[in-house]
Structure 1
Amino acid sequence: MSWLRLDGVTRRFGGKDALSDLSLGIGKGEFIALLGPSGCGKSTALNCLAGLLPLSGGSIWQDDKRIDTLPPERRGFGMVFQSYALFPHLSVRRNIAFGLQMRRLPRAEVRRRTDEAIRLVRLDEHATKLPGQLSGGQQQRVAIARAIVLEPSLVLMDEPLSNLDAKLRLEMRTEIRRLHQSLGLTTVYVTHDQEEALSMADRLVVLRDGRVQQIGTPEELHTRPANRHVADFMGYRNLLPMRVASVSREVVTVEGAGMALRGTAVGEMFPGDEVVAGIRPEDLRAGADGIPATVEVVEYQGRELAVEARTEQGVVLHLRAAERPSPGDKISVVADPARVLVFGGGK
């Protein structure tokens, strides 16, 4: 496969669109993350790609061949599930070899490819163990090896790390990225974790209510979300309803709830428009001549402190601090205009 194309892929359940008009091109060796909150349509998109759900509209093409009419087993894709889905009575080796045996490959070829897959996921010492004797991270590695041993044209991963603890998630993120790069796999990865998606993917597809909100590189989505919904999901915890006071090219001044801010306009807007100002917590700080607020909650997060403060008009602000304030402290909150994004559409 050199190219995979989704043209207007749609899936309805009971007359309601779970996925609407998804169009996307995926190049060979690319790592695509489908990102969004629960119910946004990302797993539906993956299941449509896998052939586990029929399309209600649109088509899927692999190079110049239409494949959405083919059953799952004829698409040649590998699948890694959230629940691992391992055979509990089969050893690691036999779990990995199962798909190859079903394809009736020669015994020597099955052994060669199984040995290589075990080596790639670093499970040499555990090859004879049963899944119940492995940790969660090790079980997930078996599931990944079972998918890649088939040498698929595309690997589909449905939230494969969501059942792991924080330390294992970090280790497995690195492991998946390493395998992707070393094998040149084409991968579509479903997650609701924006940090996970940013660290692993070449491009992200953000979905909301079954519709694409933005497609772009991690850097593009992190620094320039297309709308307030993408901003909300990409870590802009401060989303403040405001009104435009003035506009000069991309620089816009907004006011509301006793605050005045300057920032960058995302899209066209005019004085009087209702808008939303988006600011990351790390782009707000305590300083002089800012927005008066009272500290309510302080959370220790290692090298910095997460602070929740409330303005005199009752607006909650999330910011970061290097030194620990105390609940009840009066502070002045300052925003860097270069880091404030202003989105049209109001509430």
Structure 2
Amino acid sequence: MTFDQLRLEGVTRRFGSHDALTDLTLTIERGEFIALLGPSGCGKSTALNCLAGLLPLSSGQIWQDGTRLDPLPPERRGFGMVFQNYALFPHLSVRKNVAFGLQMRGLSRAEVRRRTDEAIRLVHLEDQTGKLPGQLSGGQQQRVAIARAVVLEPALVLMDEPLSNLDAKLRLEMRTEIRRLHQSLGLTTVYVTHDQEEALSMADRLVVLRGGRVQQIGTPEDLHTRPVNRHVADFMGFRNLLRLRADAAAAEGTGVVVEGDGVRLRGTTVGAVAAGATVVAAIRPEELSVVEDTTGDGVAATVEVVEYRGREFAVEARTGSGIQLNIRTSVRPVPGDKITVTADPEHLLVFPDDGDDT
């Protein structure tokens, strides 16, 4: 079963007086890998459960091409789901776990065997078919859960933080495996995670949520390099966040000088920034430069901590007014060194200060 578009229109879910998800509007094209991304409590799992039919909508609609899905129960939506805790039947073998859904659909014995064999082959578990889930590693159990979902040849595969219980090495392996399966089978996938690196490496588009509301939808590159607000900038990989004052806007209207507490830097505005207003300047550690010239724009700071990270050094420095800066540099400073730090104005993003630090 396939579709051309899956549309979520104003999808909202309330629990009592609390809005867990508010006005989620999203169009998913066939074959896309969409990641719902955000911190705990942002509404990403709620969105997935609404899409799966495990939670009724408080308002809004879900459409699969011309068919409205939200009134339908989960079993009539034709979606496959992979859970965080695997949710395997502990008393059934790998083969029987994978075959269960096909048997419940009344397929012939030959068809069940053919599709089960194919799904098990896809996840490289041919030599584990007779084992029980308790005899498998965490990564192998997750492979069984994925095989059980894709064997149904679903229109959409929903994955709810499927790698969060695995160790770092297994997460990397399974990340590649899930992306490979998505591409080789032509799946359409919606994937929930709080891990930015995971989402950036796997998804075609990301949906960043905060407090139940969409903050930004875009490609990994869009969100990584062009966040639309300070909350996305803060969440999508570490950035130094400096609360400063906008001193003067450049003629083209996007350049700005920000200063305060011994800091003076040039940046690029994102959103409406008025001269004299309090702003939040955001910049990644690797986009800060340590320079010898102490004249002009920059930040004077004292090195406190230096960590070797292979091809670079992670440096923690502090200004005279107590502002902490995290820097990545190829030059090794020594704790106690006095340094001057500058930033490329294109990379220093300046956002209006909404006063919300949560």
TM-score of the two chains, using structure 1 as the length reference: 0.97
Q: How does 1:149-298 map to 2 (within 5 A)?
A: 149-248=151-250, 249=252, 250-288=254-292, 289=294, 290-298=298-306
The secondary structure found in structure 1 opposite 2:346 is: helix
Letter in 2 for 1:263: G
Q: 1:308 aligns with which of 316, 324, 348?
A: 316
Distance (Å, rounded) in 1 between the aligned partners of 2:262 and 2:209: 34
Q: Is the 1:31–1:188 Cα contact (8 Å) retained in structure 2?
A: yes
Gap runs ≥5 in structure 1: none
2: distance between equivalents of 1:103 and 1:227?
47
Deviation at 1:135, TM superposition (A): 1.4
1:253·1:263 contact (CA, 8 Å) conserved in 2? Answer: yes
State the one-letter code of the partner of 1:79: M
2:148 is paired with a residue whose SS is helix
- Number of residue pairs matched by the alignment: 347
Structure-2 separation of matches of 1:302 and 1:37: 29
1:134-153 aligned at under 5 Å gives the runs 134-153=136-155
Name the CA distance, whole Å, in 2 between partners of 1:159 and 1:108.
Answer: 33
Partner of 1:99: 101
Rate the CA distance shift 1:65–1:346 in 2: closer, same or farther, 3 A. Answer: closer
Aligned residue for 1:140, secondary structure, equals helix
Aligned 8 A contact 2:247 2:276 in 1: yes
C-alpha distance in 1 between matches for 2:194 and 2:119? 28
Once the two structures are overlaid, the 10-residue window that deviates more, 279-288 or 223-232, is: 279-288
| TM-score, scaled to structure 2 | 0.94
Instruction: Work out the CA distance in 2 between the residues paired with 1:329 and 1:174.
Output: 43
Query: In structure 1, what is the Cα distance between the partners aligned to 2:328 and 2:59?
Result: 46
Find the partner of 2:19 among 17, 20, 23.
Answer: 17
Alignment partner for residue 341 of structure 1, among 349, 352, 355? Answer: 349
Residue type of the alignment partner of 1:20:
T
- Alpha-carbon shift at residue 305 of structure 1 (Å): 2.3
Residue of structure 2 aligned with 1:45, choices 33, 44, 47: 47
Q: Deviations over 1:40-67 (max 9, x none)?
A: 0000000000111111111111111111
AA matched with 2:192: V
Q: Give me the whole-angstrom Cα distance separating, in 2, the residues matched to 1:297 and 1:153.
A: 51
> Deviation at 1:270?
2.1
Counterpart Cα distance in 2 of 1:299 and 1:234: 23
Instruction: Name the counterpart of 1:63.
Output: 65
Indicate conservation of the 8 Å contact 2:307/2:313, yes or no. yes
Asked if 1 retains the 8 angstrom alpha-carbon contact of 2:11 and 2:23, the reply is yes
